[in-house]
Structure 1
Amino acid sequence: MKAAQLTKYAKNYQLELNEIDVPTINDTEVLIKVKEAAVNPLDALIGTGSLRLMHHYQLPQTMGNELTGEIVQLGRSVTQFNLGDSVYTRLPFHQIGAFAQYVAVDASAIAPLPSNLDFKTGAAAALTGLTAYQGLHEILAAKSGQTLFIPGGSGSFGQMAIPIAKALGLTVIVSGNAQAKERTLAAGADQYFDYHTQNYWELLSDVDLVIDTLGPAELEHELSIIKPGGQLLSLIMGPNGAFARAQHMPLLQRILFGLNGRKLDQQAKKAGVTYHFIFVRSDGQQLRAISKLIEANNIVPAVDSKSFDLTEVNEAQAYLANGHPRGKVLIHFDDTVSD
């Protein structure tokens, strides 16, 4: 089969299209024929070597974190799925490989494709859905009655996070562009700020929880609106010592992550806020819970109209980085790439 592989960590890395064996499965795994694979910023973090402190992949490494596909082989112990089932998944971080025609993955990491999604829209749901679910349920331990603010939450993450937050009983406030206002309010947001005309930090205060999607440049503003004892969860600012401890990392990594995140921790502490970082793990049971919310709220993740196949994987990654896509960028698998 063909697979897009990382052969060298580099700032301007390029993936190589190689011919490799179709993976064999063990008793608890399934073999998936990939239909769509999503391109994510996470791929670039891996390819540039930015995440080597967390996990050093043995190169060459087939890339890709998120996919939809059809089960074509079942391990002997797998009973909750059948041949031909349509599924979606965020692959385990240590066993990525969505940019390939076939993927072997433990059955515990996958879930049936939501009934209102197809292979394309389903490929845009797993990673953002799990990010929102784990962030709100596990890291922030959000409680009914609290207020959540998502700066820059009008995109794909907010689309998944808003209904999950509302199901927990939260008041949800979002900032974003004017074009996304009605869509975001229709998804369940209680209040919306147009960042072109409104400065949320001049209008908000005493917020319990903030989920950051914008990065370090926004930190001062985000901290200023959180009440003492509140929490800030960032998707992109970077890990700290608490993250390393929660991940049960070895002592050296805990020390290094602690040093790396010390400035963030100090700024948060000065504001009376707890800082968190999230790195999303695979979890099929959580995906099933997310599927119920997707179906109940008829959530259909946005997918960019530009189409790529596996031979164009580097172009797809460049487009994600610089092309201003309107929705998830996908790698489509069909007869254009032979088995």
Structure 2
Amino acid sequence: MKAAQLTRYAKDYKLELRNVDMPRPNHSQVLVKVKEAAVNPLDSLIGTGSLRLIQNFKLPQTMGNELTGEIVEVGKDVKNFSVNDKVYMRLPISDIGAFAEYVAVDADAVALLPSTLDFKTGAAAALTGLTAYQALHEILKAHSGQTLFIPGGSGSFGQMAIPLAKQMGLSVIVSGGSEARKRTLNIGANRYLDYKTENYWEQLSDVDLVIDTLGQAELTHELSILKRGGQLLSLRMGPNGSFAEAQQMPFWKKFLFKVNGQKMDHLAKKYGVTYHFIFVRSDGRQLQQLSALIDQNIIVPAVDSTTFTLEQVNEAQAYLQNGHPKGKVLIHFN
């Protein structure tokens, strides 16, 4: 079968299309014929070697983190899936490989495709959905009555996080471009700030929770609007010592991440709040819960109209970085 593989870490890395052996599922896995694979910023972080301290792959490594597909074979111990089931997933970080014609994956990472989504829109839902779920439930431990602000939350992450936060009883404030105001309010945001005309740090205060999607340049502004005892979780700024502790990393990695996160932790302490970083894991059970939320709220993730094939995987990654896509960039498999 064909697969797009990383053969060396580099700032200007390119994936190579190779013929590799068809994977065989073990007793706890399913074999999935890939229909759509999503391209994510995470792929670039892996390819450039930026995440080697978190996960260092033995090269060559088939790339790709999330996909939709159809089950074609089921391991003998798998009871909750059948051949021909339509599924979606975020692959385990130690066993990625969505940029391939077939994937063998542990059944615990897989969920049935929501009834309101097709292969394309489903491929845009798994990673962002799990990010929102794990951020709100596991790390922030959000609860009813709290206020959540998502700067830059008008995109694909907000599309999943807003209805989930509303289901949990949170009041949600989002900033973004004017063109996204209506759709963001329609999916449940309580308030929307146009970043071109309104500085959120001049408008907001005493916020309980912030989920950062923008990165280091916004750190001070985001911290300034939190109440004392509040929490900031970043998808972009990088790990710290508490992240390494939670991941039960060896001592030397805990030390390195503590050093890496000193700026964030120091500023957070100055404002009397806590800084978190998230690295999303696969979880089919959580995805199944998200499927119910997606169907109930008729959430249809945005997908960019430009179509790429596996042979065009490098063009797809460049398009994600530089092409200003209007939704998730997908690799289509015939």
Listed as ranges, the matches of 1:103-252 within 5 Å are 103-252=103-252
Distance 2:298 2:249 in 1: 38
1:70-100 deviations in Å (ceiling 9; x for gaps): 0000000001001000000000000000000
Distance 2:210 2:263 in 1: 18
Instruction: Return the TM-score normalized by structure 1.
Output: 0.98
Instruction: Return the TM-score normalized by structure 2.
Output: 1.00
> What amino acid sits opposite 1:158 in the alignment?
G
> What amino acid sits opposite 1:154 in the alignment?
S
Distance 1:294 1:134 in 2: 16
Distance 2:217 2:95 in 1: 33
CA positional deviation for 1:25: 1.0
1:145-189 deviations in Å (ceiling 9; x for gaps): 000000000000000000100011000000000000000000000
CA positional deviation for 1:274: 0.0
Question: Is 1:21 aligned to 2:16, yes or no?
Answer: no
Distance 2:100 2:295 in 1: 28
> What amino acid sits opposite 1:267 in the alignment?
L
Distance 2:23 2:250 in 1: 30
> What amino acid sits opposite 1:185 in the alignment?
L
Instruction: Give the aligned partner of residue 271 of structure 1.
Output: 271
CA positional deviation for 1:249: 0.6
SS in 2 for 1:165: helix
Distance 2:10 2:245 in 1: 28
Distance 2:301 2:178 in 1: 19
Residue correspondences, number = 334
CA positional deviation for 1:109: 0.2
Instruction: Give the aligned partner of residue 30 of structure 2.
Output: 30
Poorly superposed stretches of 4+, deviation over 3 Å:
none
Distance 2:258 2:196 in 1: 36
SS in 1 for 2:197: coil
Gap runs ≥5 in structure 2: none
Distance 1:47 1:147 in 2: 36
CA positional deviation for 1:55: 1.3
> What amino acid sits opposite 1:128 in the alignment?
T
CA positional deviation for 1:203: 0.6
> What amino acid sits opposite 2:132 in the alignment?
A
CA positional deviation for 1:24: 1.0
Distance 2:35 2:155 in 1: 24
Distance 1:322 1:137 in 2: 33
1:266-295 deviations in Å (ceiling 9; x for gaps): 000000010000000000000000000000
Instruction: Give the aligned partner of residue 337 of structure 1.
Output: none
Listed as ranges, the matches of 1:34-49 within 5 Å are 34-49=34-49
> What amino acid sits opposite 2:192 in the alignment?
Y
Distance 1:25 1:34 in 2: 14
Distance 2:191 2:179 in 1: 15
Gap runs ≥5 in structure 1: 335-339
> What amino acid sits opposite 1:135 in the alignment?
A
Instruction: Give the aligned partner of residue 262 of structure 2.
Output: 262
SS in 1 for 2:228: strand
